[in-house]
Chains A and B, each alone.
Chain A
Amino acid sequence: MRTRPESNRQRWAIAAVAAAVLALSLVLRSAYYELVLTQVLLWAVMSLGWNILCGYGGYFSFGHAVFWGLGAYTVALAMIYLNLSPWVSIPFCAVVGAVAGAIIGFPTFRLKGHYFALAMLAYPLAMLPIFQWLGFQELALPMKRETAALYMQFEDPRVYVVLALGLMVVALSISLWVENSRFGMALTAIKQNEPAAEAAGIDTWRWKMLALMLSGAIAAVAGGLYAVVLLVLTPDTVFGMLVSAQALILALFGGVGSLWGPIIGAMVLVPLAEGLNAELGNVLPGIQGVVYGVAIIVIILCAPEGVYWRVLDRLNRNKKPEPRATVAAAPVVALLQPRGTAGGDLLVLRGIGISFGGLRALDQIDLAVPPGGLYGIIGPNGAGKTTLFNVINGFLAPGNGTAEFAGEKITGLRPNRICRRGIGRTFQVVRAFARMSVLENVIVGAYVGAPDDTAARNMALAALDRVGLSVRADAIAGGLTTRELRLMELARALAPNPRLVLLDETLAGLGHEDLDGILGVIRQIRTDGTTVLIIEHTMQAMVNLVDHFTVLDHGRLIAEGKPNDVVRDQRVIEAYLGKKWVERVAATAN
């Protein structure tokens, strides 16, 4: 969580930039430069809109022109056919953009990564023929000679600078709010590891939709004002590939996922392109595009993540990280009392089965975990242990059977809903939010159980304390050791005080000394009242840890019972070591 002084500083920075732009517009004594400045600001707003979904949320879009164009056409059509002033229609563009975002997001968020980016490309391209077919291939906003100001038509070009600047300040403030709220944290988590975010209780679908709607609304409002400035619209001008590309290039250039990236991009590239057009367009036509392209390539090569991040890294290189003094003093919330279900097991699986094509990954699994238990699931590689966890926490829907938690059916629920019911989990391969700090990683997990951001922070600090990772709270997750990563993930799962945690091979890859520490932490978790279900394939450590073993092999439950009994079970030995060993063990016993 960013601290308040940081966000106050950003607010001052926004005010300073706004004042500088205002001063600049007063100094410029040319309608042309005022027009270029207006365009700089409008493209900055467009790029800020793009940045909300794509920068913070990591869902790249090649099709933001669809929002820009819809906004522009809303303003033009409202004025031409309804005689509606842009003063009314531009705010309405926000609604148009948000609704378009919802309609687009619904089918498109089924896709991820490049597929999402490419699918987004289709929407503006689909608009081109539609608007042509509707007969809107050339629209001119009617000139109002009498009531010009009522229709946002001004002689003084500086008015447009002020309007666009106002929009940019609003867009920056929205971005700042997003960055510093649960919204931004959720988007960052989604960007860095969507399954982990979902398992940590973040409703990824909802946040992504909100991000796209907000992003679309901002882009549409910018497009609406663009129509007023340009006065003439063609489908190609507002829905064309270049519009989508512009939004993306500006943010990439300036710094993706940062507040100032889109502003830097717009302030450098828009005047650069226009200057090149003006300078070279009538001397060596076409060369301006080449120079522009080369400039972008050079800068991307020198600063792959954008100018902003490059400069920030440079500045931070000389600074030593300050040790966090507050962590130890932070209040630890002790909310943990054993919570039992009214007589009965906490988790009950009945006849769970799932197939992947011809492979029966799980077959007729029955399992009952009582509250307060520390249960282990063991089995050789490929036995179906992780699959079972994925079924319990909702990543996979079982083909048959049901899962009940605290007396309620949870099969069919999405992972974030199951997390809300009180089931946390860790992963076999740690899914960290690599660019976030340890504390932030844990806060993401805490949101589910926290009424507000402060509570989430306190719960995260408490969880870090429980696993003994408080000293590393400020470290960036990407730089942790395996043991620390395991502990951080454990803290993330524990932060919202779940009733049950699923630990997926938490002990894997750890040395002896590390192992002892973690075993202690796990025991303490159970002592604190959280039921634990743990997967391992190394039996030795588990025998001393758990009070009940369930053994899986080839998707079937082959043995169950007290650890010491289970390890002597012939079927278990056979599953792990083969038939030969069964005979040898029998011989030694005799």
Chain B
Amino acid sequence: MTHHSVTRRSVTAGIATAIGALAAPAIVRAQAKTIKIASIAPLSGPWARQGQLLKMGTDMAMEDINAAGGIKSLGGAKIEVIAADAGDSTEKAKNAAQRLLSDQPELVGGTGAWLSSFTLAVTEVTERASLPWLTLSYSDAITNRGFKFVFQTSPTADWQAKETVPTALKLAEAATHKTPKTVGIIMDNTAAPVSFSKPLREGGLEKMGLKLTVDQIFTPPLSDATPLIEKVRSAKPDFLLLLTSAMPDCKLVLEKLDEFKLAHGKVPLVGNGAPFGSPELLSTIGPELLEGLLFSVANWPTKGQEEFIERFKKRTGEPFLTQDGLCGYGDVAILAAALEAAGAADRIKVAEAIRKMNLTTGPAAQCFPGPIKFDGKGRRVDVPMIFAQWQKGVPISVFPADLALGKAVWPSV
């Protein structure tokens, strides 16, 4: 840590003891040649694990960029990623953003804060400070507010909901040369699954020529999955959308499917979101039950990243690379590319460079499927829907074919 983050620390220690210490001005001295980037993520509280994964990515990107000679257009200036804890509430996340901006006036950009409500709060602060901000959060609200300095690297939730089922159908066709005709939904009634499935029920499935033969909604926590799976056994849909948000519920459903001899792809399973590919899922549920589970996701390790994935695993001891680490790395790489293009450590110019950006090669582009190009709202354009599948204890990307690290297994029905 640098000399001057120690200064900040002693200042904030002051507030801990007495309000009077609030009066102490933040002494911040500019340090030559180091460009500061913020990374806000939940490092404590219920989402700490995901925040840690994100931080692993940003730290690794910082080291890679500095080892490769820093920002060349700025005379090889090194970058420094300053991490802050978003904690467990929007209030804490917003405070973290405000604190970083006050303590580090020379920040040129940032990334975070993982949970979409945290990101919403953080960007209320960063937007007012004209600080370019990248995020993997995919709530539509983030880029629906008319903000000019927020860039969403993930496709939005609505888009994912719209694309997941058609893409699954394509996958099935490619693997089996048959188009599924029936589908089942098992979901809990929390916010994400409800908004994901709403357009599907309201005519979406019909348009794709799919018949909804099982439609089971439960209130978490699920105590017994038997009645749900009995419905699946009798209706035998061509595939099943599994929209659970809590791991124990997911486990119960998978175990019950196994008990009813419907697991291992007898009824292909499709989920949505990075939690379906987390190392925790593997340790809780085990590779056998997960085998064959497909899920759509905003970003997942793809072709060309093999060397990077190995380095990440070695460096962190994680069993595999997931969306969080990948996006953390990618966001810092985007900011570095923008700095390189802007040739100035200046927020406005960096934001301008991001708006003009159209990258298809280089470290930043490698981290995301599709080009790094943003529209007027700050959303990426021409992004393909990625699918990953659990195969032998590892979730690997299986779609689109040109990026996939593996081949989708879709059992013939």
CA distance in complex: A138, B89 (Å): 13
User: Judging by beta carbons under 8 Å apart, are A231 and B124 in contact?
Assistant: yes
A284 nearest CB neighbor, chain B only: B44
18 contacts between A and B (CB under 8 A): A30-B25, A31-B98, A31-B101, A32-B99, A138-B120, A138-B139, A140-B120, A142-B145, A143-B124, A230-B90, A272-B17, A275-B15, A275-B16, A278-B15, A279-B9, A279-B12, A281-B85, A282-B84
Question: How far, in angstroms, from A29 to B94 measured CA to CA in the complex?
Answer: 18
Q: Is the CB of B191 within 8 A of A132?
A: yes
Of the candidate stretches A33-41, A483-491, A499-507, the one touching chain B is: A33-41
Indicate whether B48 reaches chain A with its CB closer than 8 angstroms.
Answer: yes
Q: For A286, give the chain B residue with the smallest CB separation.
A: B44
CA distance A12 to B121 in the complex (A): 38
Q: Is A276 an interface residue (CB 8 A)?
A: yes
- Which residues of chain A are within 8 angstroms of B52 by Cβ–Cβ distance? 285
A36 near B85 with CB under 8 A, answer: no
Cβ-based interface call for A288 (8 A): yes
B residues in contact with A276, CB < 8 Å: 16
**Interface membership of chain A positions 140-172, coded 1 if the CB is closer than 8 angstroms to chain B and 0 otherwise:** 101100000000000100000000000000000
Whether, in the assembled complex, A242 has its beta carbon less than 8 Å from a beta carbon of chain B, the answer is: yes
- The one of B87, B146, B191 in contact with A281, judged by C-beta atoms closer than 8 angstroms, is B87
Chain A, 177-220, CB within 8 A of any chain B CB: none
Candidate in A132, A135, A267, A282 with the most chain B CB atoms within 10 angstroms: A282
For A155, the closest partner residue in chain B by CB is B128
B187 to chain A, nearest CB (A): 14
Who on chain A is nearest to B192 by CB?
A137
State the Cβ distance, B286 to closest chain A Cβ, in Å: 28
A31: B residues at CB distance < 8 A: 98, 101-102
Determine whether B218 belongs to the interface, using a CB cutoff of 8 Å to chain A.
no
User: Which residues from 96 to 145 on chain B have a C-beta closer than 8 Å to any C-beta of chain A?
Assistant: 96, 98-99, 101-103, 116-117, 120-121, 124, 127-128, 139, 141, 145
Q: Is B92 an interface residue (CB 8 A)?
A: yes
> Are B89 and A242 in contact, with the CB atoms below 8 A?
yes
Interface SS majority for chain A: helix
Cβ contacts under 8 Å, B94 to chain A: 35, 230-232
Chain A residues proximal to chain B, CB less than 8 Å: 24, 27-33, 35-37, 39-40, 132, 135, 137-138, 140, 142-143, 155, 230-234, 236-237, 240, 242, 267-268, 271-272, 274-279, 281-282, 285-286, 288-289
Nearest residue, chain A, Cβ from B13: A279
Contacts A24-B23, A132-B190, A277-B96 given; does A32 touch B103 at CB 8 Å: yes
Instruction: Give B90's nearest chain A residue, CB to CB.
Output: A237
Interface string of B1-35 (1 = CB under 8 A from A): 00000000100111111110011011000000000
Which of the four size classes fits the interface of chain B?
A: 35 or more
Across the two chains, which residue of chain B brings its CB closest to A37?
Answer: B22
Check A271–B13 contact: CB distance below 8 A.
Answer: no
Among all A-B residue pairs, the 5 with the closest Cβ atoms: A281-B85, A275-B16, A32-B102, A285-B44, A285-B43
CB-based nearest B residue for A266:
B19
Known: A28-B23, A231-B124. A143 touches B117 (CB 8 A): no
- B117 contacts which of A33, A234, A274, A282 (Cβ < 8 Å)? A234
Contact pattern, B 215-252, Cβ under 8 Å of A = 1, otherwise 0? 00000000000000000000000000000000000000
CB distance from A273 to the nearest CB of B (A): 9
Shortest CB–CB separation between residue A25 and chain B, in angstroms? 9
Roughly how many angstroms separate A282 CA and B96 CA in the complex, as a whole number?
A: 11
Contact with A along B259-298 (1 / 0, CB 8 A): 0000000000000000000000000000000000000000
Q: How far is the CA of A140 from the CA of B147 in the complex (A)?
A: 12
Residue B376 CB within 8 A of the other chain? no
B120 near A232 with CB under 8 A, answer yes
B45, CB-defined interface residue at 8 Å: yes
Q: Quick check: is B197 within 8 A (CB to CB) of the other chain?
A: no
Q: How far is the CA of A288 from the CA of B84 in the complex (A)?
A: 13
Q: Are A277 and B85 neighbours in the complex by a CB distance under 8 Å? A: yes
- Expressed in whole angstroms, the Cα–Cα distance for A584 and B102 within the complex equals 97
Query: Nearest residue in B to A287 (C-beta to C-beta)?
Result: B44
Check if B95 is an interface residue, CB within 8 A of chain A: yes
Say yes or no: A230 contacts B121, CB within 8 Å: yes
